[in-house]
Amino acid sequence: MNAGRQGSYKSNTINTDESRLRRHEITVELRKSKKEDHLLKRRNIKEDDLISPLKEPNSQSAPSMSLDEIILAMHSEDPGKQFAGMQGARKLLSRERNPPIDLMIGQGIVPICIQFLQKMDNPLLQFEAAWALTNIASGNSDQTRCVIENNAVPHFVTLLQSDNINLAEQCVWALGNIAGDGSAPRDIVLQNNVVDGVLKLIDKDTKLLSQLLCGTDVQVLADACWALSYVTDDNNTKIQAVVVVEAVPRLVNLLGAEDPSIIVPALRSVGNIVTGTDPQTDAVISAGGLAKLMNLLKHPKHNIVKEAAWTVSNITAGNQAQIQAVIESGIFVELRNVLEHGDFKSQKEAAYAVTNTTTSGTPEQVIDLIEKYQIFKPFCDLLEAKDPRTVVVVLSGLTNLFALASKLGGTENLCLMLEEMGGLDKLENLQQHENEDIYKKAFAIIDTYFSDGDEAEAKLAPQEVNGTLEFNANQSKAPEGGFTF
């Protein structure tokens, strides 16, 4: 099995560190980039932005302030001037293009913002300070580190319990930015007990949660899911903390949301949970996760299909009962469609799901893939993929299938199936592949199961048994009831 993928397996002999590292890298890439679904870390200021509670529908924009005026106002003892200066700084940092983050840091506004976060009697000032710090933390690692070193994290965690829901939401956003900058910042966030804070925020107002699921403002929920995705992107202890407080059913339920800005972080969280222990994976299955995942495999957005297939692949890396649950859910019908018609990244994850099943499943479960779900041809077609890791995964799955066929006496049928669909030609071409692992795996299958003419003739030659000639003396007998493959 490819070393880069082994970390995604959940058996005792294969750890999940590599899987989580790969997930963390993708998470940082998505969280740090201007991607679809509004996964921006910086909240940009717009004329029609009604997210801020400070926006009045018919109010006129306040006159802009110079940088010197902003800094002077922020240092004032007058609460009104403090607010005006803080809001002016936030607007500068919310510019879509080239926000002056380094300039503002150089002017010393970060420690002032931290002071304003502690103004419990002025939630509007706290909100503007949190917003500004969120945008600073959206920058490069040095800029994020400045926010951390000024001890902003514990203040953000404390404000998760604020009665002002906009302020609490902004703090979730800020903590997500900080945690998304790398493993060390994420650990700092976790050490400040962010898990309890985020979960309490979700539980805080069930009426709000109901409204969010009905299609109103979804930002609080989306940001909370992002924060949980960072928490679950860690060891099994952190995952268990999320399971124990019964957050899994809520996350699974959110997989059925219409808004991709909710689906993406909820799916990431669920996907991380099923990289954990078998009981943690069972929590997702028991909550109805498989039905939700099957629907997401038909989603029009390729990145959601890919994430759903990745999640399924981790479930099929579990025990045989979990694999049976996947089979009974009908997910392999959609996985076959993904293998046939999906984009390549989704096909790659679907191939992992198949190979994991051939590795951990029972013979009956593996045979179901071939006979009931007709997965063999689209799976083998990926032998022509340009990505070496994907080819290795398919070759590993084929090796498992041939080993099973050999035990069941079905090698000849499987060889015939592979040859008829052009798979043998693909294997022969892979013997010229520059990747040594691919070459060796392809050669091993051909050498073991597709013998040359001389060897075949030698096997067909009559042999002397008890003084008489017998034909096909070495041919193994098919098991009672036969086999099909």
**pLDDT reported for residue 46:** 38
What percent of the chain clears pLDDT 90, i.e. is strictly above it?
Answer: 55
Q: Answer for the pair 77, 85: CB distance below 8 angstroms, yes or no.
A: no
Q: Does residue 40 surpass a pLDDT of 80?
A: no
- What is the distance between the alpha carbons of residues 400 and 410, in angstroms, rounded to a whole number? 13
Between 471 and 432, name the one with better pLDDT. Answer: 432
- In whole numbers, what is the pLDDT of the chain averaged over residues? 79
Look at the pTM and tell me if it is higher than 0.75. Answer: no
- CA distances to 58, 133, 369 from 144, rounded to whole Å, are 36, 9, 48
The predicted model gives 289-293 an average pLDDT of 97
Query: Beta strand 468-470 with 463-465: parallel, antiparallel or unpaired?
Result: antiparallel
Task: Work out the pLDDT band at 64, boundaries 50, 70, 90.
Answer: confident
| Residue 135 burial (CB count, 10 A) | 27
**pLDDT reported for residue 356:** 94
Between 315 and 205, name the one with better pLDDT. Answer: 315
- What is the distance between the alpha carbons of residues 242 and 37, in angstroms, rounded to a whole number? 25
- What is the distance between the alpha carbons of residues 390 and 376, in angstroms, rounded to a whole number? 15
The predicted model gives 75-86 an average pLDDT of 95
Under DSSP, is residue 22 helix (H, G, I), strand (E, B) or coil?
helix
**pLDDT reported for residue 202:** 57
**pLDDT reported for residue 480:** 43
HSE toward the beta carbon, residue 274, CA cutoff 13 A: 31
**pLDDT reported for residue 463:** 53
Between 95 and 273, name the one with better pLDDT. Answer: 273
**pLDDT reported for residue 260:** 92
**pLDDT reported for residue 443:** 93
**pLDDT reported for residue 333:** 96
Between 35 and 155, name the one with better pLDDT. Answer: 155
Q: Does residue 54 surpass a pLDDT of 70?
A: no
Question: pLDDT for 247-260, tens place per residue?
Answer: 888 899 999 988 89
- What is the distance between the alpha carbons of residues 129 and 83, in angstroms, rounded to a whole number? 9
Q: Does residue 121 surpass a pLDDT of 70?
A: yes
Q: Does residue 466 surpass a pLDDT of 90?
A: no
Among residues 127, 134, 242, 221, the alpha carbon closest in space to that of 179 is found at 134
Question: pLDDT for 403-460, tens place per residue?
Answer: 999 999 999 999 999 999 999 999 999 998 999 999 999 999 999 998 654 444 444 4
Under DSSP, is residue 332 helix (H, G, I), strand (E, B) or coil?
helix
Task: Work out the pLDDT band at 196, boundaries 50, 70, 90.
Answer: confident
Query: What is 67-201's CATH number, 1.10.3720.10, 3.40.50.1820, 3.40.50.880, 1.25.10.10?
Result: 1.25.10.10
**pLDDT reported for residue 199:** 66
Question: pLDDT for 346-385, tens place per residue?
Answer: 999 999 999 999 999 999 999 999 999 999 999 999 999 9
**pLDDT reported for residue 303:** 93
